[in-house]
Amino acid sequence: MLLCTCSFLLNYPRSLTLYTYPQSHRGSTPWSLKYRFKMLLWEYVWPLLCRWTPKPFNRWRLFILRLNGCKITGTPFVHQRARIDHPWNLSLCHLASIGERAHLYCLAEVIVEYGAIVAQEVYLCTGTHDFNNPVRPLQTAPIRIGSDSFIGARSFVLPGITIGEGAVIGACSVVTRSVDSSMYVAGNPAKILRPKKFT
């Protein structure tokens, strides 16, 4: 049973499709000047205010994330050497953990639920491109990491993926499809190994 409820999960979409950004030609940016300025500011905020902090300064890092639009419930943990792009698209629940050098590429919404662990050097990637279009426009879709799940070190999670509650992703896996609750998966591409056995 979960000890906390994240209110922002109530409206989370269960059927995910890629959103394609309109771009006039290859190399053009989908972002407005105002949005690019916002991204530029964040590129300086985290290194100057958080990356140098000792591990126990977690509450300070959470404070800085909140100031920059991250939705936080309770007290998750974010390592000082984690990389978070577009933090205003990130939602973290109580006791969620983001490991050292994990990269959360939040072009679309990323939700890490209660007690979920995103281990060292994991890459959560919400962006790709439409390779059937010669312009190759940006495409995005959200990622949801279910409660009490574990994403092993150096795994790569593609856009639009949902990791079910209690699922375990083996190290160095490439997750190309959503994973059901309480399943062990691993490999490239990640495949089901077996369901979790509860004792």
The residues spanned by each domain of the chain are 32-195
Q: Is the pTM of this model over 0.85?
A: yes
CATH number for domain 32-195, candidates 2.60.40.420, 3.90.1150.10, 2.40.50.140, 2.160.10.10: 2.160.10.10
Q: What is the pLDDT averaged over residues 144-156?
A: 98
Q: What is the pLDDT averaged over residues 81-102?
A: 98
- What's the pLDDT score for residue 14? 42
Catalytic residues: 129
Give yes or no for a contact between 190 and 152, defined as CB atoms under 8 angstroms apart. no
| pLDDT bucket at 199, cuts 50 / 70 / 90 | low
CB proximity list for 127: less than 8 A, separation 6 or greater: 105, 107, 108, 138, 139, 140, 159
Q: Which of 128, 119, 68, 80 is nearest to 97 (CA)?
A: 119
| pLDDT bucket at 100, cuts 50 / 70 / 90 | very high
